[in-house]
């Protein structure tokens, strides 16, 4: 397990076709051979990982998620959290880079929740018909945070990949 508890990665997405159409300009770039991004012409910011427009889901998974999966198997807790303004690529990255990946080396069964918290309302992204009023985040008397009104979906991994059960 890495000694740093929180690591921050930035993924820069390419301009969308409609942004190109409206002549929007790229204003965030990866500084070559560094883990810095440049905003505008001269403001640079360091991160643990940076991924440019051409980056693949696999690169992201290998650098950011795979080490966490290994720690998880060793009994540590791990969280991958996507943060960014609307349209910045959170769903694209989590959906393609995290859910559905398996390295085929291990066989395991895990319970997975895929929740969206938007304007103080919870949505179960694996069971879209669930009423948000049935879902709650609660803290118990020992300070553990958990969900109520959601059982989690079962994912089974086998050598052929990850299956939704
Ligand atoms: N790295 C990328 N490469 C190519 N297209 C991308 C990339 N990241 C995001 N996109 C595209 O950008 C659009 C917005 O991405 P996405 O829906 O993932 O954003 P979001 O952050 O989840 O937005 P919201 O908060 O509104 O749900 C989508 O059309 C998606 O396909």
* Domain CATH number, residue 60: 3.40.850.10
- Per mean pLDDT, which range of 44-53, 79-88, 93-102, 117-126 is the poorest? 93-102
- State residue 158's pLDDT score: 44
- Ligand 1, residue 118: give the atom nearest the CA: 25
- Per mean pLDDT, which range of 88-92, 95-99, 115-119, 140-144 is the poorest? 95-99
pLDDT in tens, 3-16: 678 999 999 999 99
Report the domain count for the chain: 2
Alpha carbon nearest to ligand 1 atom 26, residue:
86
Give whole-number Cα distances, 69 to 38, 112, 116, 140, in Å. 30, 13, 21, 26
- State residue 117's pLDDT score: 80
81, 101, 121 - which closes a domain = 101
66, 84, 101 - which closes a domain = 101
Ligand 1 pocket test, pick from 54, 92, 97, 121 with the greatest ligand atom count within 8 Å of Cβ, gives 92
Asked if residue 92 and residue 11 are part of one domain, the reply reads yes
Annotated binding residues for ATP, written as ranges, equal: 84-91
- State residue 162's pLDDT score: 38
- Assess whether pLDDT exceeds 90 at residue 124: no
- State residue 161's pLDDT score: 36
Q: Running DSSP on this structure, what letter comes out for residue 115?
A: E
Q: Give the residue numbers spanning the domain of 159.
A: 104-165
Asked if residue 135 and residue 96 are part of one domain, the reply reads no
Asked if residue 60 and residue 8 are part of one domain, the reply reads yes
């Amino acid at each position: 397990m890495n000694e740093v508890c929180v690591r921050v990665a930035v993924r820069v997405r390419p301009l969308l076709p409609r942004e190109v159409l409206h002549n929007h300009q790229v204003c965030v770039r990866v500084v070559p051979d560094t883990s810095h991004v440049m905003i505008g012409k001269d403001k640079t910011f360091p991160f643990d990982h940076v991924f440019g427009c051409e980056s693949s889901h696999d690169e992201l998974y290998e650098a950011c998620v795979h080490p966490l999966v290994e720690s998880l198997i060793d009994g540590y807790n791990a969280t991958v959290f996507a943060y960014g303004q609307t349209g910045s690529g959170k769903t694209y990255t989590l959906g393609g880079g995290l859910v559905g990946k398996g390295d085929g080396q291990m066989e395991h069964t895990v319970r997975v929740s895929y929740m969206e918290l938007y304007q103080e309302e919870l949505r179960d992204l694996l069971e879209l018909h669930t009423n948000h009023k049935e879902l709650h985040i609660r803290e118990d008397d020992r300070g553990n945070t958990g969900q109520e009104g959601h059982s989690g979906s079962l994912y089974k991994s086998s050598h052929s990949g990850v299956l939704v059960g």
